[in-house]
Amino acid sequence: MKWSLSLGRVSGIKVFIHWTFLILVSWIILQNALQGQTLEQIFWAVIFILAIFACVFLHELGHALAARHYGIQTQDITILPIGGLARLQNLPEDPKQELVVALAGPAVNVVIAACLFIMISILPFSQENFDVMTIDSRTFLYTLFFANLILALFNLIPAFPMDGGRVLRALLSFRLSWVKATRIAASVGQVLAIFFVVIGLFYNPILLLIGFFIFLGAQAEASFSEKRSLMQGFHVYDVIMKDFRTVSVEDELTDAVELLLNGQSTVFLVLEGDHVAGTLSKNEIIKALSEYGKHVKIGDVMNRQVETLSYDMPLEKAYQQFQQKRLMVMPVIENGSLMGIVDVENIHEFIMIKHAVGAEKSRSKAAEEPYHYSS
Ligand SMILES: [Zn+2]
């Protein structure tokens, strides 16, 4: 994810922290200082927020390790001010796996809460002037205990993108097709979202935000599952364009502009000799044109990130690569030779056409879109 600082690896999974998280911590320090809190109080407020996010991280790690148990790797875990995000490389294959992976996150918070409960019962705390609303060395464990219970319960709300939404879909999938189960789970989520928004309007603006968040999450999940089901059974060779234009690293930008104006293509492969050195999309051409003028060498302004697809790769997997790498076009290479290109717009058109003819297939067995677990 952009704007993230790397914290290293845990169990081989890359861990990032989004820089906005630092703003959150600074804001807490500032808020507390403005309210005339002592240094000790500020210290505990910061320790508390760090502890919460450590719990959020462990929650994500729970999803990641449960997924690994089924042979599904996790690309990375990012800690955001609104929670955590684990990007799984595949989707769990059957409802039972999805159920276990979805429940693993909240289960971690339940375990942490249980450990804290034991610690609280054993440690000799003085009950004098005990106020859970101010965090200090005595109330810290109590507050963290409640925070973990809330994390577990909140994530079990049966609505996408919460874990509870996935739990609901998994339970429905035991009986229904995956697409149908997603649709029902998404609708349940949206009804809940509207409920949150209405309650939020009258009582609490945070609920309002949560409501919008759930509504959009449910919509995204439904459209994603629809796309996946439409791509199923198709391969890169179904969408490959064998008739495509190339430019050379030595060409000037104006040559690409010519091609753009005179033809149908909006993305080009940039060749250096006979190998693909980069790509150039319409937007990149326009941007480079305004920044460097039309006589700049294409080799200096092209997108150097080149990812290749293979001819018989499943379409879902190819689409997943486009999304992960944020590329517009990829060359298809088979046995070392360039077979053609796939442009992300082709895939979108393909999906639209399939959608129009109503080609719907049943649940996928091996979908490989990154699967976002948020908490
Ligand atoms: Zn979760």
| 251 occurs within a structural domain | yes
Amino acid at 347: I
Residue 361 scores a pLDDT above 60: no
**pLDDT at 134 (0 to 100):** 66
Residues 173 and 145 in one domain: no
Q: What is the pLDDT of residues 260-301, one digit of tens each?
A: 888 878 888 898 888 888 988 888 888 998 899 888 999 898
pLDDT single digits (tens) 43-69? 888 888 889 889 999 999 999 999 999
Residues 221, 119 within the same domain:
no
25 pLDDT more than 80:
yes
How much distance in Å is there from the Cα of 339 to the middle of ligand 1?
A: 41
Determine, yes or no, domain membership for 375.
no
How far apart are the CA of 209 and the centre of ligand 1, in A?
A: 18
163 Cα–ligand 1 center, Å: 5
Q: How close is the Cα of 102 to the center of ligand 1, in Å?
A: 6
Say whether both 147 and 18 belong to one domain.
Answer: yes
How crowded is residue 19: how many other Cβ atoms within 10 Å of its Cβ?
12
172 found inside a domain: yes
Report DSSP state, residue 311: T
Last residue of a domain, one of 203, 231, 259: 231
- Residue 364 domain flag: no
| Alpha carbons 163 and 294: distance in angstroms, whole number | 50
pLDDT band per the 50, 70, 90 thresholds, residue 153: very high
Query: Which is it for the CA torsion 197, 202, 205, 206, positive or negative?
Result: negative
Residue 296 and residue 202 share a domain: no
Indicate if 171 and 280 belong to the same structural domain.
Answer: no
Task: Indicate the residue type of 335.
Answer: N
Q: What percent of the chain has pLDDT over 90?
A: 16
What backbone phi and psi angles, to 5 degrees, belong to 338?
-80, 115
* Tokens at 272, concatenated: 């250096």
370: in domain: no
Q: Which domain covers residue 152, as residue numbers?
A: 4-156
The per-residue pLDDT for 121 is: 85
Alpha carbon of 363 to ligand 1 centroid (Å): 23
125 domain residue, yes or no:
yes
The residue among 345 and 375 whose pLDDT is bigger is 345
Same-domain status, 241 and 202: no
* 78 CA → ligand 1 middle, Å: 12
- At which of 156, 184, 215 does a domain end? 156
Question: Are 244 and 272 in the same domain?
Answer: yes
The domain boundary residue, chosen from 231, 247, 268 = 231
Determine contact, residues 161/220, Cβ cutoff 8 Å. yes
Question: Has residue 371 been placed in a domain?
Answer: no
The pLDDT of residue 42 is above 70: yes
Distance, in Å, from the CA atom of 141 to the CA atom of 120, rounded to the nearest integer, reads: 7
Q: Where are the beta strands (DSSP E) in 39-94?
A: 74-80, 83-88
Q: Are 254 and 176 within one domain?
A: no
97 and 196 both lie in a single domain: no
| Segment among 22-26, 62-66, 109-113, 216-220 with least mean pLDDT | 216-220
Looking at the structure, tell me whether residues 35 and 83 fall in a common domain: yes
Higher pLDDT, 79 or 375: 79
C-alpha 37/C-alpha 29 separation (Å) is 10
Domain membership flag for residue 198: yes
For position 109, what pLDDT does the model report? 95
Supply the CATH number for residue 272's domain.
Answer: 3.10.580.10
* pLDDT score at 79: 85
Tell me how many domains the chain contains: 3
Of residues 345 and 372, which shows the higher confidence score? 345
User: Distance from the CA of 106 to the center of ligand 1, in angstroms?
Assistant: 6
Same domain assignment for residues 59 and 110: yes
Position 164 confidence tier, pLDDT thresholds 50, 70, 90: very high
Residue 83 has pLDDT above 90, yes or no: no
| Ligand 1 centre distance from Cα of residue 49 (Å) | 18
Non-local (6+) Cβ contacts of 346 within 8 A are 239, 241
Across 289-354, the runs of DSSP E, i.e. the strands, are 329-334, 337-343
Q: Which residues contact 303 (CB under 8 A, 6 or more apart)?
A: 278, 279, 280, 281, 284, 327
Give the residue-averaged pLDDT of 83-97. Answer: 80
Q: What is the pLDDT of residue 45?
A: 85
pLDDT of the residue at 80? 79
More confident residue, 283 or 372: 283
User: Alpha-carbon distance 1 to 189, whole Å?
Assistant: 26
From residue 83, give the alpha-carbon distance in Å to each of 32, 89, 104, 252, 356.
22, 20, 16, 46, 38
Q: What is the mean pLDDT of residues 122-141?
A: 68
**Over the chain, what is the mean pLDDT?**
83
| Same-domain check for residues 152 and 11 | yes
